[in-house]
Amino acid sequence: MDKNLTIHWFRQDLRIADNPSLYFAARQGSVITLYIVDKQQPAMGRASEVWLHYSLKKLNRALKHKLMVCQGEPLQILTDLIKQYPVTHIHWNRCYQPWQIKRDQKIKLQLAKQGVQVKSFNASLLWEPWGVLKKDQRPYRVFTAFYKHAFSKAEIPRKSLACPPDLENYQLPLTTKIDDLNLLPKSNWYRQLISHWQPGERAAQSLLDDFLNSKLYNYKTGRDFPAFDFVSRLSPYLHFGEISPHQIWWETTSLNSSDNSQHFLSELAWREFSYYLLYHYPDIINQNLQPKFDHFPWRQNRSQLLRWQQGQTGIPIIDAGMRELWQTGYMHNRVRMISASFLVKNLRIHWQQGAAWFWDCLFDADLANNTLSWQWVAGCGADAAPYFRIFNPVLQGQKFDPEGDYIYRYVGELSKLPVKYIFAPWEAPAEVLQNAGVVLGESYPKPMVDLKQSRQEALSAYKNLTFEEDKPQ
C-alpha cells in the first residue's frame, strides 16, 4: 500500500481536464477519487438526479472504474477513510451555495485536527466572489458594473489545466455502486428526458467545439429564436462541472473577437454574477433582493400553477416552453423569460413556486442562476426589469418564432392551425378552427387569463407597491 494517499472529493466538477483539485492531488502521489451523495444537504431536483447518474457513469469509465461512490455524511465518510488508509491530503474544488460553504468549513476544521492537510481550489468560477468588489469593499448589485470591473480590473481568468499526466488512481474495494445510489426515478419519465442528451465530459467538449465552429457566428441574434439551434446548450454541463468556464472562456477568446463572441462571454459572466450575488447575499434563496417586494400581493392558486406546469395555459408559446421543459429537461432561455413573466405577472403567482418547478425539472438546475433569474423576471432582484415590462407572449411568439416552428414542435394539438393564428388561437375564426380540428376548451385549452386585463392588474399591484414604499414615514 502507498505510504501517502490523497483523496480528491468530486462535487460539482465531474471531469478530469481542467480540474485543479484532481490535477494537484495527482502530483502528491496516488489518489482516491471519491463522490459522496450528501443526504444532509437540500435535495437535488429529479431531473438533476437523472443527469448525475449518467454523468457519474461516464466519469467512472474515464477513471477506469475506480471512482468510489458513497452516500451519507461527508465528514464521517472522510474520517472512516482516513482511519483505514494512509491518507495525508484531501483535495476538493470549492462550492458556493450557503450550506456547502458552512459544511466545508466544518469539515476543514475537523480534518485539520486529525492531522490531514486540506486544500480547496476554484474550478467553477472565472472570478472568486470576494475578488470583485467596489472601492468601499462592498459587492456590486448591477451586472454591468460587476462585469466591467471583473473584465478590466480583476485578475485574468486562469488558463485551463490539462488532464493530470500521471494520475495514479488508487483502487479501493468498491462496496457501493452507482446504481446503488438510486438516483433514477421508478417511473420511465426519465428515459425520454435523457434521450435528448449525452452527459459527460467528452460530450461537453464536443458541444463547445460545435458551437464555436458553426453557431457562434450568429449567436447575438440567433440566441433569441427558440426554433433555431444557435445556442451552446452547455448549461447542464457547466452545472455539473463536466466542463469549466475557464475552458469556455479561453477557447472563445482564442477566436477573433466579435460582437457574437463578446455577447456569449457576457452570458457566461451573468452566470458568474449569479454566483457572486448568492455568495454575498445568501438569503436571496428565500428572500427578495429588493425588500420592498416583501409586501407584493402574490396569489395562491394551485389549479393555475398546475396548468402552467403542465403546459395547459392556452397560450401556445408558453405551453410549448413548459412541454419542452418536461420532455427534455431544458427550456430555451427566451421562452424561460416569457413563461416566467406569465407566471409572476399575469398570474401573480410567487416566483419561488416557479423556481421550485424549474429546480425539479431542469438539467441545468443551478441554484444561483435559477434564483437570480426568477428574481430578475419578477422585478425583485438585481438588474431587475422595470415593473411595467411585462412580456406579451403573443407578440413574443410572433417576433421570435415567426413561422411557429417551435410551437408546432411541442403543441401538436395545433399542428393544422395556420401560422397566422398559431400565436393566439382564440382569435381564429370558427371555420379556421374547425378545419384545423381545434376545439378550444376541449382539444386545446382556452387562455386561462385575459392577457390585457391580467397585465393591467399586475401593473396596478406594482404601482401600489411602489407608492406605499415611497410614502414618507
* Residues with active-site annotation: 267, 270, 298, 333, 351, 374
Answer whether 442's CB lies under 8 Å from 436's CB: no
DSSP class per residue in 160-173: PP---TT-EE----
Q: Bridge partners of 119?
A: 91
Give the span between the Cα atoms of 370 and 280, in whole angstroms: 16
Give the span between the Cα atoms of 231 and 233, in whole angstroms: 6
Answer whether 201's CB lies under 8 Å from 58's CB: yes
Integer CA distances (angstroms), 123 to 45, 214, 240, in order: 23, 27, 11
C-alpha cell of residue 66? 475506480
Answer whether 63's CB lies under 8 Å from 33's CB: yes
Give the span between the Cα atoms of 406 and 286, in whole angstroms: 33
The contacts of residue 84 (CB under 8 Å, 6+ apart) are none
DSSP class per residue in 19-53: -HHHHHHHTTSEEEEEEEE-TTSPPPPHHHHHHHH
